[in-house]
């Protein structure tokens, strides 16, 4: 796949709504592209420049956030509850989509490394990026709950907010304190 073909494919993410919000009946839900950009903005403004952990690299986290959902241009947005029903299948589907799009043709070694780290959650940077992915979703939930409270129950709120207890890194937990 050429770079121009990748651009054309990934630009479609602006018109792919986040499925979970659609299923909930949210009017004008964010697109996958908006989610990716929201994650990147969170990282840009709330990630520390440096950290005591030598493996931490803010730039790598930011680049990972820009790449993390690009394969959804091929697979569509599959909500987490659906992925949890058959995780191996959806992991393989995402990996195949990444191979056929993001990682095909001309792809830098850094992009390959960042994608591998993200998909395996094998580095501090990948864990931080995952925390940001979750924080952005929680932030969006709270925004939609405020705008359309009838769509969400107290049980929904408890489930979403429990995600804050599942953050994997000190960096993610510090970001949550600043954000909420």
**Residue 133 CB neighbour total at 10 angstroms:** 21
**Alpha-carbon gap, residue 104 to 98, rounded angstroms:** 8
pTM: 0.94
Query: Model confidence over 114-164: pLDDT tens digits?
Result: 999 999 999 999 999 999 999 999 999 999 999 999 999 999 999 999 999
157 close to 117: Cβ distance less than 8 angstroms: no
**Alpha-carbon gap, residue 116 to 164, rounded angstroms:** 25
Query: Model confidence over 28-84: pLDDT tens digits?
Result: 999 999 999 999 999 999 999 999 999 999 999 999 999 999 999 999 999 888 989
Q: Report the Cα–Cα distance between both ends of the chain, in Å, rounded.
A: 41
User: DSSP state, 54?
Assistant: T
56 close to 107: Cβ distance less than 8 angstroms: no
């Amino acid at each position: 796949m050429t770079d121009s073909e990748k651009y054309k494919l990934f630009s479609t993410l602006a018109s792919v709504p986040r499925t979970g919000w659609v299923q909930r009946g949210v009017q004008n839900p964010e697109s996958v592209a908006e989610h990716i950009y929201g994650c990147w903005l969170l990282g840009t403004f709330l990630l520390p420049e440096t950290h005591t952990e030598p493996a931490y690299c803010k730039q790598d986290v930011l680049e990972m956030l820009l790449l993390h959902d690009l394969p959804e241009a091929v697979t569509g947005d599959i909500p987490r509850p659906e992925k949890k029903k058959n995780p191996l299948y959806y992991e393989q589907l995402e990996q195949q989509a990444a191979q056929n799009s993001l990682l095909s043709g001309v792809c830098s070694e850094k992009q390959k490394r960042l994608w591998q780290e993200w998909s395996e959650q094998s580095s501090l940077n990948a864990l931080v990026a995952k925390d940001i992915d979750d924080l952005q979703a929680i932030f969006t939930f709270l925004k939609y709950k405020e705008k359309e409270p009838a769509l969400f129950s107290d049980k929904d709120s408890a489930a979403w907010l429990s995600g804050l207890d599942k953050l994997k890194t000190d960096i993610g937990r510090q970001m949550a304190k600043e954000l909420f």
